[in-house]
């Protein structure tokens, strides 16, 4: 028995050391050598989820790089922001998509739900702090270890193939052709009623948005929150009151560019939350014009928040 | 509590320490500990069904005693049939009632009578098919005087409920396990190391191969109407590896865990995918169930020592019952029927015992003929798996219909990360090589005699650990838990 215990314990210890080495060394190398490049002329970086991913066609906005990624909560955006800003000093302005669904508890699932975590965590695990790990482990201990394994495998393969370039893999403009048929009214069951009460708010997502802002401020970047156009029937618009309250309470120091009601037609939308190619073309051209006209230099936040046309929701 | 979960690891360590360090002086205390641990393990699945398990145990324990004490044969027969009826009654209610009700309603509807049968809204108690068969083997063996009735309730209960085999087998026999329960166990270093090695291999099969294949098999079967025939073949192959590695991985872990406590359980798998015909396949796949049906159904029906038509009848019965044992669905019944049809020619031609030894025994590679035979058998097996995996008979036929179309010769299409798919294919190929190398042992890595130096073997074990860590994906339920 004595011999068995000694052999088993040494095997287990050796295995743990090996696993640690496999998990940490490639992770360290990825963190050290990873490359997050943005074109030298691009001074504006845009981060966010699928709304901004589909709304800003950055080929039409020369100074802007769209780094949004669908189903990305601020937790993962934060990791990305750190790397892009530290490696691209030419970025002077950071735009962060802030729209109605980003205060909802759905964002918690985007952060530690298995499907999302297993996709996003392996990408960004190398850049996370211990507190970030703790947060995920606390909320989804069951699958956190699985995701650590997947992350270790991802990093191991990156290290083996010397493939440290994240450029183009962490987001960008996403083109959607056509429109899904939009019903004349919002299906009642789809309305997230809970979004209007406090318990349905994702405090984690809000905290990480604050972290992103603080990090950008620490790097002396101009930060703007931006809301891209949403269809008037978009279900999450239901939480507008709560959304405004949170913005005023936690982010009143940050300029808010609100294009929620930007005038678009039904066939400019792929669905209630996303612009299609046609809509993105109109909106991006408009945004480019506003940037050229000094929108991001103005200090008058009130004027920034007002769209300059009335909404057209018909047709 | 899955074998491949962190919680089970802690549970196993606690029970092991108490078993060998605290209660190692008295056999009864050790048995009581194992029984308590087994009930705790079962209660972690669903504590409500623990009562059913205890009732089933009590029933077989008392009927065993009553049969042993019975003065007349008819009384003995009465107790036997009481136990069989109640055991199968429970199985019928929990597992088959809704199937029969729905089938009857379907049949009546086809002749214009519309029934709304009462259906039960209950979940299937985990492991019910396994522990029911443990109990049945015991009462039949007592009835046939193969074994004396067990007087010690703790020992008998442990035989039925021993946690490594409780929820998915192997299906043990009282003649094999009860004597081990009643004998003082001494710690055996070699056996314990062997057990750990088998657990490691089982874990690799389950967590790496089966769970990775599950993702692809599930995706392809769920969207089978959108894929070309070539992709559907790939889906069936993925499922073939999923189910083999899932179930044999579980069995390896069960056998390995039992070895840690000084028990030797029945072998459940013997490299079935290296079989050269279907008869050999069924001697190597789920051995404890096949041999159970052979001993308690096929032989009592006359077995193969009867006329041709009786042989055909017996073979059909045993495979249909085996299919039905797996689940209350027509897909399983057709799966059983197909296996019977594939195996019948060899039984009728008396070639069913042509391949008793493992393929290419003592040689490095199979002959061309053996290779072709193995390939043909594997194709038959994956064909039958389509019915086993499909949600309905209609889906299975549609799946097969799409396979046998022009699209069979197209390049497989799968909307997945190609690099990850390649990784899984490489893992499967490595797995086949290791299984082939170790096919003459109880499990593939038992001896690793192809790795001559100890250092190489240690490197192999550490590589397995690392691969398990790197490739463990989302924890998937063991397939056989549903049976």
**What band does B483 get if pLDDT is binned at 50, 70 and 90?**
low
pLDDT in tens, B279-295: 999 999 999 999 999 99
What pLDDT is stored for residue B450 in this prediction?
82
Work out how many CB contacts closer than 8 A connect A with B: 47
Q: How far is CA B373 from CA B281, B355, B369, B377, in A?
A: 11, 11, 6, 6
**What band does B2 get if pLDDT is binned at 50, 70 and 90?**
confident
| Residue of chain B nearest A113, judged by CA positions | B474
Q: Does B13 touch chain A (CB under 8 A)?
A: no
**What band does A140 get if pLDDT is binned at 50, 70 and 90?**
very high
How far apart CA B146 and CA A40 sit, in angstroms, is 85
- Is the separation of the CB atoms in A114 and A137 below 8 Å? no
Q: How far is CA B7 from the centre of its chain?
A: 23
What pLDDT is stored for residue B266 in this prediction?
95
Residue A254 lies in a domain: yes
Q: Does A169 touch chain B (CB under 8 A)?
A: no
- Is the separation of the CB atoms in A96 and A224 below 8 Å? yes
Long-range contacts, stretch B451-460, CB < 8 angstroms, 24+ apart: none
**What band does A112 get if pLDDT is binned at 50, 70 and 90?**
very high
Residues of A in contact with B474 (CB under 8 A): 114, 118, 143, 146
How far apart CA B103 and CA B117 sit, in angstroms, is 10
How many angstroms away from the CA of B473 is the closest CA of chain A? 6
Contact B419 A150 (CB under 8 A): no
What pLDDT is stored for residue A189 in this prediction?
40
Q: Does B461 touch chain A (CB under 8 A)?
A: yes
| Residue of chain B nearest A5, judged by CA positions | B189
Name the residue among B212, B214, B201, B287 with its Cα closest to residue B250.
B201
Q: Is the pLDDT of residue A191 over 60?
A: no
Nearest to B469 among A19, A114, A142 (CB): A19
Total domains, chain A: 1
Phi, psi of A314 (to 5 degrees): -85, -160
How far apart CA B191 and CA A93 sit, in angstroms, is 66
Name the residue among B151, B125, B135, B157 with its Cα closest to residue B35.
B157
Q: Is the pLDDT of residue B353 over 70?
A: yes
Average pLDDT over residues B429-457: 92
Token pair of B356 as six digits: 């008793």
What pLDDT is stored for residue B473 in this prediction?
66
Element (H, E) at A222: strand A222-227
Q: Is the pLDDT of residue A302 over 50?
A: no
Q: Is the pLDDT of residue A235 over 90?
A: no
| Residue whose entry in the numeric block shows the structure tokens 């042993």 | B68
Contact B471 A142 (CB under 8 A): no
Token pair of A242 as six digits: 């709560």
**What band does A197 get if pLDDT is binned at 50, 70 and 90?**
very low
Which position has the higher pLDDT, A159 or A187?
A159
Average pLDDT over residues B298-307: 84
What pLDDT is stored for residue B47 in this prediction?
86
Q: How far is CA A212 from CA A85, A109, A224, B52, in A?
A: 11, 19, 11, 56
What pLDDT is stored for residue B114 in this prediction?
78
* N residues, chain A: 315
Question: Which among A153, A155, A158, A159 is the top mutation candidate for probing chain B, defined by the most B β-carbons within 10 Å of its own β-carbon?
Answer: A153
Question: Cβ contacts of residue B24 below 8 Å, gap of 6+?
Answer: B30
Q: Does B466 touch chain A (CB under 8 A)?
A: yes
Residue A4 lies in a domain: no
- SS3 state at B301: coil
Q: Is the pLDDT of residue B58 over 90?
A: yes
How far apart CA B474 and CA B482 sit, in angstroms, is 18
Residues of B in contact with A19 (CB under 8 A): 465-466, 469
Contact B462 A152 (CB under 8 A): no
Residue A97 lies in a domain: yes
Domain harbouring A264, CATH code: 3.40.50.1110
How far apart CA A122 and CA A138 sit, in angstroms, is 18
| Residue whose entry in the numeric block shows the structure tokens 């004998």 | B183
Element (H, E) at A96: strand A93-97
Which position has the higher pLDDT, B181 or A301?
B181
How far apart CA B67 and CA A93 sit, in angstroms, is 87
Q: Is the pLDDT of residue B335 over 90?
A: yes
Which position has the higher pLDDT, B84 or A315?
B84
| Residue of chain B nearest A13, judged by CA positions | B462
b/e per residue B15-32 (b: at least 16 CB within 10 A) = beebbbeebbeeeeebbb
CA dihedral angle for residue A221, residue A222, residue A227, residue A229, rounded to 10 degrees: -100
| Residue of chain A nearest B190, judged by CA positions | A4
Q: Is the pLDDT of residue B110 over 90?
A: no
What pLDDT is stored for residue A193 in this prediction?
45
What pLDDT is stored for residue B334 in this prediction?
96
Judging by beta carbons within 10 Å of its beta carbon (0-12, 13-18, 19+), is residue B407 exposed, middle or buried?
middle
Average pLDDT over residues A234-248: 90
Judging by beta carbons within 10 Å of its beta carbon (0-12, 13-18, 19+), is residue B168 exposed, middle or buried?
buried
Query: What is the layout of strands, in order, in the sheet containing A222-227?
Result: A64-66, A44-47, A93-97, A222-227, A255-258
Domain that holds residue A222: 38-147+165-305
Name the residue among B19, B37, B36 with its Cα closest to residue B192.
B19
Cβ neighbours, 10 Å, residue B238: 26
Q: Does B8 touch chain A (CB under 8 A)?
A: no
How far apart CA B90 and CA B60 sit, in angstroms, is 13
Q: Is the pLDDT of residue A218 over 70?
A: yes
Q: Does B51 touch chain A (CB under 8 A)?
A: no
- SS3 state at A223: strand
Residue A5 lies in a domain: no
Residue A153 lies in a domain: no
Q: How far is CA B61 from the centre of its chain?
A: 25
- DSSP class per residue in A10-72: HHHHHHHHHHHHHHHHHHHHHHHH-B----TT--EEEE-SHHHHHH--TTSSTTEEE---TT-
Residues of B in contact with A114 (CB under 8 A): 474
How far apart CA B237 and CA B220 sit, in angstroms, is 11
Q: Does A6 touch chain B (CB under 8 A)?
A: no
Q: Is the pLDDT of residue A85 over 80?
A: yes
pLDDT in tens, B139-165: 999 999 999 999 999 999 999 999 999
**What band does B417 get if pLDDT is binned at 50, 70 and 90?**
confident
The mean pLDDT value of chain A amounts to: 87
Average pLDDT over residues B3-11: 87
Residues of A in contact with B417 (CB under 8 A): none
Q: How far is CA B435 from the centre of its chain?
A: 18
* Residues of B belonging to the active site: 326
- Is the separation of the CB atoms in B159 and B244 below 8 Å? no
Nearest to B475 among A15, A23, A146 (CB): A146
Nearest to B474 among A143, A156, A157 (CB): A143
Q: Which residues 20-39 on chain A approach chain B with CB closer than 8 angstroms?
A: 22-23
Nearest to A4 among B189, B419, B462 (CB): B189
How far apart CA B431 and CA B450 sit, in angstroms, is 15
Q: Is the pLDDT of residue A299 over 80?
A: no
What pLDDT is stored for residue B475 in this prediction?
61
- SS3 state at A198: helix
**Which of A65-69, A176-180, B372-376 is predicted with the least confidence, judged by mean pLDDT?**
A176-180
Phi, psi of A222 (to 5 degrees): -80, 130
Residue A17 lies in a domain: no
Q: Does B6 touch chain A (CB under 8 A)?
A: yes
- Is the separation of the CB atoms in B204 and B464 below 8 Å? yes
Residue A16 lies in a domain: no
Alpha helices in chain A (DSSP H): 2-33, 50-55, 74-87, 106-112, 114-124, 130-139, 141-160, 203-218, 240-250, 277-292, 301-305
């Amino acid at each position: 028995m004595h011999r068995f215990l000694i052999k088993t314990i040494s095997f287990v210890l050796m295995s743990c050391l090996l696993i640690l080495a496999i998990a940490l060394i490639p992770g360290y190398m990825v963190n050290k050598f990873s490359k997050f490049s943005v074109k030298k002329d691009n001074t504006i970086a845009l981060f966010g989820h699928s709304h901004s991913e589909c709304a800003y066609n950055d080929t039409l906005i020369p100074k802007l790089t769209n780094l949004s990624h669908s189903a990305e909560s601020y937790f993962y955006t934060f990791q990305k922001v750190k790397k892009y800003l530290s490696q691209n000093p030419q970025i002077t302005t950071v735009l962060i998509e802030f729209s109605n669904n980003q205060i909802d508890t759905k964002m918690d699932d985007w952060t530690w739900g298995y499907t999302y975590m297993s996709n996003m965590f392996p990408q960004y695990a190398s850049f996370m702090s211990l507190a970030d790990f703790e947060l995920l482990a606390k909320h989804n201990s069951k699958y956190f270890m699985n995701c650590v394994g997947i992350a270790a495998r991802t990093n191991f393969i990156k290290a083996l193939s010397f493939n440290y370039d994240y450029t183009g893999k962490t987001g960008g403009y996403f083109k959607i052709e056509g429109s899904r048929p939009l019903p004349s009214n919002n299906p009642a069951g789809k309305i997230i009623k809970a979004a209007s009460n406090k318990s349905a708010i994702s405090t984690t997502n809000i905290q990480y948005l604050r972290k992103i802002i603080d990090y950008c401020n620490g790097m002396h970047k101009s930060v703007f929150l931006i809301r891209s156009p949403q269809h008037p029937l978009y279900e999450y618009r239901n939480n507008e009151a709560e959304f405004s309250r949170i913005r005023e309470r936690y982010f009143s120091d940050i300029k808010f560019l609100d294009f929620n009601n930007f005038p678009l037609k039904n066939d400019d939308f792929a669905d209630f939350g996303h612009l299609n190619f046609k809509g993105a073309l109109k909106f991006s051209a408009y945004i480019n014009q506003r940037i050229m006209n000094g929108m991001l230099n103005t200090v008058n936040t009130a004027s920034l928040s007002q769209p300059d046309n009335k909404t057209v929701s018909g047709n | 509590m899955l074998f491949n979960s962190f919680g089970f690891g802690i549970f196993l360590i606690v029970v092991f320490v108490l078993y060998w360090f605290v209660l190692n002086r008295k056999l009864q205390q050790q048995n009581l500990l194992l029984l308590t641990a087994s009930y705790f393990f079962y209660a972690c699945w669903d504590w409500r069904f623990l009562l059913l398990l205890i009732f089933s145990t009590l029933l077989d324990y008392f009927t065993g005693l009553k049969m042993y004490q019975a003065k007349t044969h008819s009384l003995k027969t009465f107790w036997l049939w009481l136990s069989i009826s109640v055991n199968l009654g429970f199985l019928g209610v929990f597992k088959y009632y809704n199937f029969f009700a729905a089938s009857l309603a379907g049949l009546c509807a086809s002749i214009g009578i519309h029934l709304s049968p009462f259906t039960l809204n209950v979940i299937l108690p985990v492991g019910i098919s396994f522990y029911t068969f443990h109990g049945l083997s015991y009462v039949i063996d007592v009835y046939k005087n193969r074994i004396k009735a067990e007087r010690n309730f703790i020992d008998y209960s442990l035989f039925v409920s021993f946690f490594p085999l409780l929820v998915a087998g192997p299906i043990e026999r009282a003649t094999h396990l009860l004597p081990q329960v009643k004998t003082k166990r001494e710690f055996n270093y070699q056996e314990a190391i062997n057990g750990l090695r088998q657990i490691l291999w089982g874990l690799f099969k389950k967590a790496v191969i089966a769970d990775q294949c599950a993702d692809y098999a599930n995706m392809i079967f769920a969207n089978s109407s959108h894929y070309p025939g070539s992709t559907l073949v790939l889906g069936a192959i993925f499922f073939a590896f999923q189910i083999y590695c899932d179930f044999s991985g579980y069995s390896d872990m069960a056998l390995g865990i039992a070895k840690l406590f000084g028990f030797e359980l029945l072998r459940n798998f013997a490299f079935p995918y290296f079989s050269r015909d279907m008869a050999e396949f069924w001697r190597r796949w789920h051995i404890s169930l096949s041999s159970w049906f052979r001993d308690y159904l096929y032989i009592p029906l006359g077995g193969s020592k009867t006329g041709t038509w009786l042989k055909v009848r017996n073979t059909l019965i045993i495979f249909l019952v085996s299919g039905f044992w797996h689940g209350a669905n027509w897909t399983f019944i057709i799966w059983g029927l197909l296996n019977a049809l594939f195996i019948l020619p060899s039984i009728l031609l008396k070639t069913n015992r042509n391949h008793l030894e493992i393929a290419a025994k003592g040689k490095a590679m199979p002959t061309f003929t053996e290779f072709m035979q193995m390939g043909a058998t594997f194709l038959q097996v994956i064909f039958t798996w389509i019915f086993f995996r499909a949600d309905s008979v209609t889906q299975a036929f549609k799946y097969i219909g799409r396979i046998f179309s022009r699209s069979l010769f197209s390049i497989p299409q799968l909307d997945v990360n190609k690099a990850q798919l390649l990784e899984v294919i490489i893992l499967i190929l490595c797995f086949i090589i290791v299984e082939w190398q170790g096919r003459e042992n109880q499990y593939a890595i038992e001896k690793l005699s192809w790795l001559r130096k100890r250092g190489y073997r240690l490197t192999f074990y550490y590589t397995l650990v690392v691969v398990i860590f790197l490739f463990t994906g989302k924890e998937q339920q063991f397939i056989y838990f549903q049976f």
